């Protein structure tokens, strides 16, 4: 134990096992949610089914899934007074993740069960959060564009309603399926930075909203969820397939990080990136802009050849969202719209076997200083 601690100082807790978990596992290049491989879930499940799986440790039966969908539909409508207040908040020059962090915090004020420690009330809070985080992201865009707010359809999935409320038009069923798969792929990822943040906050026995707001703050950073947005900005900056290889080589020579590459845990590739790569290829063709995929593939080859690094979930998801006509700064809020389901599973797991997180810091500062009055300080 002492050896692990010594190795972890200032190393981002690399190699530290901070808790036991039964939610998702990563073994080499295999990711499972509750024992099911991500490839199988992406191919065969829906996001709602995955939410049920993450929270209940088993796949739902037909009537359980139908009940969950009904509950999520029922809870997706945002409180009217909150929407009014959100309309007054700044959106121009504001990062949507900063707006979302604030909006989710405000949402708690309209949730009479936000402070409850009773299991059924906490389950309803979780349902509300899963339904309302994507609704908030779509609302942000409508407000930012000065467009009318679109009410969600009560008989539709989270994926459908996100696209419908974002654009205000009936979404292409193929894109709904693609988006649903993206939500599945992003739903959980063992003890990632934001899930850990959620667990740290929950470990003080703080409320669910506080833990989710902590997680949103952690996800926002470019080394975590914020990378997907940076990937698309990088592709735009590079501009053409011809420029891609040289751009990457120069960036690596300058010791710059290439967004969407590398991972603390996966050293032999991220299975989600493989699935998203295929989706990116198909969708960029469908949208008539295959060069975004071609550039991505060229960058992928170059980073692998030059640095031995493989793409992570954020690399090919960028061109998938871009091909769907989603504004670039909404990519990370979309990540949050999915990952909230995993955060909630982690918060409940933390509550169920809690001990407060309280690591130690190794002292490297000065010692034994003598206090001096203000007028004697130099
Ligand atoms: N581009 C270029 N070099 C990278 C890199 C990247 N994306 N990711 C890691 N490296 C290099 C580091 O510079 C370091 O090289 P060095 O040993 O020559 O100094 C080495 O690989 C180890 O990287 P490190 O940052 O210590 O790994 P980590 O485990 O602490 O960080 C990430 C993991 C994901 C934060 C890191 O790979 C990264 O910053 N990636 C880009 C951001 C991103 O895509 N985040 C989303 C993660 S899902």
Q: What angle do CA 292, 296, 302 make, to 5 degrees?
A: 145
Give per-residue pLDDT as tens, 309-367: 999 999 999 999 999 999 999 999 999 999 999 999 999 999 999 999 999 999 999 99
Contact call for residues 105 and 213 (beta carbons, < 8 A): yes
Give per-residue pLDDT as tens, 273-306: 999 999 999 999 999 999 999 999 999 999 999 9
Nearest CA to ligand 1 atom 44: 260
- pLDDT computed for residue 262 by the predictor: 96
In the structure, what pLDDT confidence band is assigned to residue 85 with cuts at 50, 70 and 90? very high
Residue 40 has pLDDT above 90, yes or no: yes
Query: At 123, is the secondary structure helix, strand, or coil?
Result: helix
Q: Rounded CA gap, 190 and 181, in Å?
A: 19
In the structure, what pLDDT confidence band is assigned to residue 1 with cuts at 50, 70 and 90? very low
Span from the CA of 261 to the centroid of ligand 1 (angstroms): 7
Q: What angle do CA 360, 362, 364 make, to 5 degrees?
A: 145
Query: Quick one: what percent of the chain has pLDDT higher than 90?
Result: 96
Nearest CA to ligand 1 atom 8: 262
Name the CATH topology of 227-323. Cytochrome p450-Terp; domain 2 (1.10.230)
In the structure, what pLDDT confidence band is assigned to residue 232 with cuts at 50, 70 and 90? very high
**H or E segment to which residue 278 belongs:** helix 271-286
Residue 9 has pLDDT above 90, yes or no: no
In the structure, what pLDDT confidence band is assigned to residue 10 with cuts at 50, 70 and 90? confident
Residue 4 has pLDDT above 50, yes or no: no
- pLDDT computed for residue 43 by the predictor: 98
Q: Do domains 24-221+330-352 and 227-323 have the same CATH topology?
A: no
CA distances from 298 to 240, 285, 289, 292, 333 (A): 11, 16, 15, 10, 27
- pLDDT computed for residue 3 by the predictor: 46
Nearest CA to ligand 1 atom 30: 264
Total number of residues shown for the chain: 378
Adjacent-strand bridge partners of 191 = 189
Average pLDDT over residues 207-226: 97
In the structure, what pLDDT confidence band is assigned to residue 2 with cuts at 50, 70 and 90? very low
Residue 155: count of CB within 10 angstroms of its CB: 10
Residue 171 has pLDDT above 50, yes or no: yes
Contact call for residues 175 and 162 (beta carbons, < 8 A): no
| Structure token pair of residue 30 | 């295999």
| Structure token pair of residue 327 | 């504004």
- The reply to whether ligand 1 has any atom less than 6 angstroms from the CB of 264 is yes
Query: At 37, is the secondary structure helix, strand, or coil?
Result: strand
Span from the CA of 327 to the centroid of ligand 1 (angstroms): 26
Q: How is residue 326 annotated by DSSP? A: -
Q: Mean pLDDT over all residues of the chain?
A: 96
Q: Ligand 1 pocket: which of 24, 231, 262 to mutate (most atoms <8 Å of CB)? A: 262
Q: What angle do CA 200, 201, 202 make, to 5 degrees?
A: 90
The full set of domain ranges for the chain reads 24-221+330-352, 227-323
Q: Rounded CA gap, 252 and 241, in Å?
A: 18
- pLDDT computed for residue 158 by the predictor: 98
- The reply to whether ligand 1 has any atom less than 6 angstroms from the CB of 186 is no
Name the CATH topology of 24-221+330-352. Citrate Synthase; domain 1 (1.10.580)
Residue 50 has pLDDT above 80, yes or no: yes
- The reply to whether ligand 1 has any atom less than 6 angstroms from the CB of 261 is yes
- The reply to whether ligand 1 has any atom less than 6 angstroms from the CB of 163 is no
Q: Is the dihedral of CA 174, 176, 182, 185 positive or negative?
A: negative
Average pLDDT over residues 215-244: 97
What residues are labeled active site?
263, 314
Residues 6+ apart with CB under 8 A from 83: 139, 149
Block residue for tokens 């292409």: 172
């Amino acid at each position: 134990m002492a050896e692990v601690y010594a190795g972890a100082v200032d190393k981002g807790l690399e190699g530290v096992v901070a808790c036991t978990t039964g939610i998702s596992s990563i073994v080499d290049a295999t990711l499972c949610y509750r024992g099911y491989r991500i490839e199988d879930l992406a191919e065969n499940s829906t996001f709602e089914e995955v939410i049920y799986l993450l929270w209940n440790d088993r796949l739902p039966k037909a009537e359980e899934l139908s009940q969950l969908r009904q509950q999520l539909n029922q809870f997706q409508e945002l409180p009217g007074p909150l929407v009014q207040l959100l309309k007054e908040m700044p959106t121009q020059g504001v990062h949507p993740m900063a707006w979302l962090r604030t909006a989710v915090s405000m949402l708690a004020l309209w949730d009479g069960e936000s402070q409850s420690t009773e299991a059924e009330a906490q389950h309803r809070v979780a349902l509300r959060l899963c339904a309302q985080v994507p609704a908030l992201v779509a609302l942000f865009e409508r407000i930012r564009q000065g467009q009318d707010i679109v009410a969600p359809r009560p008989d539709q999935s989270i994926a459908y309603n996100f696209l419908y409320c974002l654009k205000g038009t009936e979404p292409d069923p193929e894109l709904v399926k693609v988006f649903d798969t993206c939500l599945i792929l992003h739903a959980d990822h063992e003890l990632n930075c934001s899930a850990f943040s959620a667990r740290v906050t929950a470990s003080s026995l703080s409320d669910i909203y506080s833990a989710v707001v902590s997680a949103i703050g952690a996800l926002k950073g470019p080394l975590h969820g914020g990378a997907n947005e940076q990937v698309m900005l990088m592709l735009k900056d590079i501009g053409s397939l011809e420029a891609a290889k040289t751009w990457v080589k120069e960036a690596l020579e300058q010791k710059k990080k290439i967004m969407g590459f590398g991972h603390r845990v996966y050293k032999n590739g991220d299975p989600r990136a493989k699935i998203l790569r295929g989706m990116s290829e198909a969708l960029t063709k469908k949208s008539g802009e295959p060069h975004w995929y071609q550039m991505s593939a060229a960058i992928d080859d170059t980073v692998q050849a030059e640095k031995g690094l493989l793409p992570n979930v954020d690399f090919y998801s960028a061109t998938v969202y871009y091909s769907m006509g989603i504004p670039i700064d909404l990519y990370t809020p979309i990540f949050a719209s999915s990952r909230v389901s995993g955060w909630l599973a982690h918060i409940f797991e933390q509550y169920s076997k809690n001990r407060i997180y309280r690591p130690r810091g190794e002292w490297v500062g000065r010692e034994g200083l003598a206090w001096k009055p203000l007028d004697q300080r130099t």
